[in-house]
Copies of this chain bind each other. A is one copy, B any other.
Amino acid sequence: MLQLSFLIKLSFLNNTKTKINNLAIKTTMSSKESNLEELANEYKNRSPVAIIKFALENFDNIAISFSGAEDVVLIDMATKFKSDVKVFSLDTGRLHAETYRFIEQVREHYNIEIDVLSPDSESVQNLVREKGLYSFYNDGHKECCGIRKVIPLRQKLISLDAWVTGQRKDQSPDTRNDVPVVERDDAFSTIDKELIKFNPLSNWSSADVWEYIRSNDVPFNALHQQGYISIGCEPCTRAVLPNQHEREGRWWWEEATQKECGLHAGNVKQKS
């Protein structure tokens, strides 16, 4: 029945593989939010595979966001039970050569199409003409990330009902303390359309992810063999020392609390 929130429906119909139609999403915000919390609560101790399975079985119009780093495990898990998984990557135009090679390797290894999104050329040109190629070292990474990552992401997400990310609580103690396995995406939902965000790896540690990669012979970015843990754009990523937190390899010239690129802006917003 259409009055029921899609989430109640989801929790009941989990195994019936009934697809959500768009109408189901148009329930009242309050009921949906509480239902999302219930769902997150129900799944918070489930395995990443179970969460991905639930996500892909209940949303047709869903895609995995792949950063070219260890979130490749999402693709590995998803392709084990669904061959035509939708995947997208944000090509900022400033990725490491190793990352481009890895994205291609993943495309071929899993035989999937990866939608590699480019930023708007005019916006990039204007920024670079005015401020040069490394403005982020002077006035912060937000402007550049906005143009090269967030706007292309927003345009992509408008076309989706849900997306799957690789973010984990342990990635950023300051900003990611509270990453539910599923949530309403407050940063990218619009008045017209709610967007659901799944974070299947939320409760996994970095060690869990790497155990999975090595046990399952998952391909990985060659930078991981050179001291890199977290991987973003080339000028904004560096290798870390032994036992240094991975987040210190990103935007290291900025304060710890600002180390989100805008993809998961909700995390920071919740703090303030």
Contact = CB atoms under 8 A, between A and B. Distances in A.
A242 B234 contact: no
A246 B235 contact: no
Interface string A228-260: 110000110001011110100000000000000
Interface stretch (A16-24, A31-39, A94-102, A193-201): A94-102
Interface in A210-230: 210-211, 213-214, 220, 224-229
Interface of A: 70, 91, 93-94, 96-97, 100-101, 103-104, 107-108, 113-122, 124-125, 128-129, 132-134, 152, 206-207, 209-211, 213-214, 220, 224-229, 234-235, 239, 241-244, 246
Contacts of A104: 132-134
A256 to B, nearest CB: 15
Nearest to A220: B241
A87 to B, nearest CB: 11
Nearest to A242: B229
A243 B97 contact: no
A246 B243 CA distance: 11
Contact of A242 (B70, B103, B118): B70
Given A133-B103, A226-B226, A234-B97, A241 B125 contact: no
Closest 5 pairs between A and B when the two form their complex, measured CB to CB: A227-B227, A118-B121, A93-B93, A210-B243, A207-B243
Contacts of A210: 241-244
